């Protein structure tokens, strides 16, 4: 594209220069010729007053010598013979015109130009006192006709060459300005196709290529976001499948001793590891569901009571004391029921998984004007590094935990404009505080902010 633009500019500029330079050169040539003959006519006219007064040779010699052309020997005066016997024609100076040219001017008294060796002769007819027509001849050398013409043509040629070079340079710069953004866009598309998700294109250049760069960057951000959503969804599915696997593991632990019981427990543990590995490496994930809109949500008290009925049976088998508070009246929150179920199962599953048998735990629901707080407390050993536990993929546990459960809880809380905090409970162990906002506008703003943060994280991948 770059060389194509240069060739087009070169062709157009050459045509323009030729179209204007040739006529302009001819005009300059004609102007130089007119200048030379106009000067000759002016000097010929200077002899006119003398000829109208006298035809004496001495007077005419002095008049001719007083002119520039006469002093240079380039002027002659041809006086015809007077009427009557014995009259002779008189010639002052050195004439170069032929008798035929002089006769023509005598017959038709009009100024004319005749070619002579080495230049041109201007023949100017002038009336004299005898009533006859005298001819003033001024010689114009060829060099005077073309005086300054070579310099003018050289300047004109230089201007034409400068225009051509300038147009080629401008076309080359314009070509670079167009080609480089296209090349960057092609390289970025190639890098993105090879899996380098951080490939982006500077949004500059011509408007069309700038628009293409903006569209490419938006597409790349969307690809990164889709891949991030895919990984998050695979991890969420993995953790949701671990809830029933936890129940199987706890039931298998109560089977007692024996080869069959050991094999069952080993099979459950192997199944749990395989499910984690398979789901977390899955790539064919479905799109994430849309965030709950205004009016969507569930009754937090009902969901908490339902899940506590499920986990209380397991707690009874392990000798755990359970306390439930704050669910005696409906508490509406802007969270979809499946999401809240997954979050509660993640928190309670962590209690059973990371605390020894017989450890007590409690669930408290506090309903405020602008938020609902869910507290899950236990009497276990606690969490040494709460910040690391909240980081995705790093729970701080030593038993192979992925930390995905707390990440599920965190995303549910942040979808409402809330957050998750980890601290020490009154029971002596861990307390997880889930703050669920009730302001839909704040929840929408948090979702938008979270989306922008994910986009920025995707650019750093």
- Asked if 144 and 251 sit in the same domain, the reply is no
What's the distance, Cα to Cα, between the start and end of the chain in Å?
34
Q: Which two tokens stand for residue 100?
A: 């035929």
Flag whether the pTM goes above 0.85.
no
Residue 28 is predicted with a pLDDT of: 86
Residue 289 is predicted with a pLDDT of: 37
Which of 150, 185, 219 finishes a domain? 150
- Asked if 307 and 361 sit in the same domain, the reply is yes
Q: How many domains does the chain have?
A: 3
- Asked if 311 and 453 sit in the same domain, the reply is yes
Which of 239, 263, 288 finishes a domain? 288
Instruction: Give a yes or no: residue 159 inside a domain.
Output: no
Q: What is the C-alpha to C-alpha distance for residues 108 and 133, in angstroms, rounded to an integer? A: 10
Q: Any residues with CB less than 8 A from the CB of 325 and at least 6 apart, and which?
A: 362, 363, 364, 365
Residue 83 is predicted with a pLDDT of: 65
Residue 14 is predicted with a pLDDT of: 85
CATH (domain of 278): 1.10.287
Instruction: Give a yes or no: residue 329 inside a domain.
Output: yes
Which of 261, 288, 315 finishes a domain? 288
Block mean pLDDT (10 aa), the chain, length 461: 76 85 85 86 84 81 84 85 68 84 84 87 82 85 82 87 87 77 84 81 80 86 79 66 70 73 73 63 43 61 91 87 92 88 88 90 92 93 82 50 75 90 91 87 52 42 37
- Asked if 132 and 222 sit in the same domain, the reply is no
| Tens-digit pLDDT profile for residues 236-290 | 666 566 667 777 777 777 777 777 777 777 777 767 666 666 655 554 444 333 3
Give the residue numbers spanning the domain of 107. Answer: 2-150
In the block, tokens 């009246």 appear at: 329
Instruction: Give a yes or no: residue 157 inside a domain.
Output: no
**∠ Cα 193 194 199 (to 5°):** 70
Residue 237 is predicted with a pLDDT of: 66
Count of beta carbons in the 10 Å neighbourhood of residue 395: 23
Radius of gyration of the chain (CA): 54
Instruction: Give a yes or no: residue 171 inside a domain.
Output: no
Instruction: Give a yes or no: residue 24 inside a domain.
Output: yes
Residue 318 is predicted with a pLDDT of: 86
Instruction: Give a yes or no: residue 37 inside a domain.
Output: yes
Residue 289 carries which DSSP code?
P
How do the residues of the chain divide into helix, strand and coil, expressed in percent and rounded to 5?
55, 15, 30
Q: What is the C-alpha to C-alpha distance for residues 198 and 395, in angstroms, rounded to an integer? A: 28
- Asked if 443 and 297 sit in the same domain, the reply is yes
Residue 278 is predicted with a pLDDT of: 61
Instruction: Give a yes or no: residue 183 inside a domain.
Output: no
Residue 326 is predicted with a pLDDT of: 92
| Tens-digit pLDDT profile for residues 429-457 | 999 999 999 875 555 555 455 544 444 44
Residue 324 is predicted with a pLDDT of: 94
Residue 451 is predicted with a pLDDT of: 45
Residue 172 is predicted with a pLDDT of: 80
Instruction: Give a yes or no: residue 166 inside a domain.
Output: no
Q: What is the DSSP string of 304-361?
A: HHHHHHHHHHHHHHHT--EEEES-SS--EESS-HHHHHHHHHHHHHHHHHHS-TT--E
- Asked if 246 and 299 sit in the same domain, the reply is no
CATH (domain of 348): 3.30.565.10
Residue 445 is predicted with a pLDDT of: 54
Average of per-residue pLDDT values in the chain: 79
Q: What is the C-alpha to C-alpha distance for residues 410 and 395, in angstroms, rounded to an integer? A: 13
SS3 28: helix
- Asked if 119 and 26 sit in the same domain, the reply is yes
Residue 455 is predicted with a pLDDT of: 44
Residue 230 is predicted with a pLDDT of: 72
- Asked if 316 and 261 sit in the same domain, the reply is no
**∠ Cα 290 292 293 (to 5°):** 110
- Asked if 139 and 269 sit in the same domain, the reply is no
| Tens-digit pLDDT profile for residues 349-391 | 889 888 998 999 999 999 988 899 999 999 998 888 887 777 7
CA 249 and chain centroid, separation: 57
- Asked if 402 and 428 sit in the same domain, the reply is yes
- Asked if 312 and 346 sit in the same domain, the reply is yes
β partners of residue 188: none
- Asked if 284 and 295 sit in the same domain, the reply is no
CATH (domain of 118): 3.30.450.20
């Amino acid at each position: 594209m770059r060389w194509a633009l240069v060739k087009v500019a070169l062709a157009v500029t050459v045509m323009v220069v030729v179209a204007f330079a040739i006529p302009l050169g001819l005009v300059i040539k004609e102007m130089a010729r007119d200048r030379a003959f106009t000067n000759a006519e002016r000097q010929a006219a200077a002899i006119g007053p003398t000829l109208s007064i006298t035809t004496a040779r001495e007077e005419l010699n002095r008049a001719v010598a007083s002119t520039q052309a006469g002093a240079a020997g380039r002027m002659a005066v041809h006086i015809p013979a007077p009427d009557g016997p014995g009259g002779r024609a008189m010639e002052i100076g050195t004439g170069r015109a032929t008798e035929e040219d002089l006769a023509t001017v005598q017959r038709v008294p009009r100024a004319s130009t005749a070619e002579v060796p080495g230049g041109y002769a201007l023949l100017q007819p002038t009336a004299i006192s005898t009533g006859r027509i005298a001819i003033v001849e001024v010689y114009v050398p060829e060099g005077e006709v073309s005086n300054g013409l070579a310099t003018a043509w050289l300047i004109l040629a230089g201007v034409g060459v400068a225009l051509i070079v300038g147009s080629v340079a401008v076309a080359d710069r314009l070509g670079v300005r167009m080609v480089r953004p296209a090349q960057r866009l092609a390289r970025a598309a190639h890098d993105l196709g090879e899996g380098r998700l951080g490939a982006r294109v500077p949004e500059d250049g011509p408007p069309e290529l700038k628009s293409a760069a903006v569209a490419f960057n938006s597409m790349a951000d969307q690809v990164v976001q889709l891949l991030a959503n895919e990984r998050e969804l695979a991890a969420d599915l993995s953790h949701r499948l671990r809830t029933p696997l936890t129940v199987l593991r706890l039931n298998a632990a109560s089977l007692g001793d024996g080869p069959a019981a050991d094999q069952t427990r080993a099979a459950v543990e192997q199944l749990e590891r395989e499910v984690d590995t398979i789901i977390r490496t899955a790539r064919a994930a479905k799109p994430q569901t849309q965030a709950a809109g205004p009016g969507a949500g569930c009754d937090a008290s009902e969901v908490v009571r339902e899940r506590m009925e499920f986990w209380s049976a397991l707690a009874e088998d392990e000798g755990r004391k359970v306390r439930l508070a704050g669910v005696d009246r409906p508490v509406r929150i802007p969270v979809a029921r499946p999401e809240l179920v997954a979050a509660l199962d993640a928190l309670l599953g962590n209690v059973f998984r990371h605390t020894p048998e017989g450890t007590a735990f409690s669930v408290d629901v506090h309903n405020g004007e602008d938020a609902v707080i869910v507290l899950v407390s236990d009497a276990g050993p606690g969490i040494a590094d709460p910040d690391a536990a909240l980081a995705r993929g790093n729970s701080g546990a030593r038993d192979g935990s992925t930390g995905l459960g707390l990440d599920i809880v965190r995303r549910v809380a942040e979808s409402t404009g809330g957050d998750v905090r980890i601290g020490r409970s009154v029971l002596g162990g861990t307390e997880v505080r889930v703050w669920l906002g009730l302001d839909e506008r704040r929840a929408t703003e948090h979702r938008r902010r979270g989306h922008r943060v994910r986009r920025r994280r995707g650019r750093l991948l």
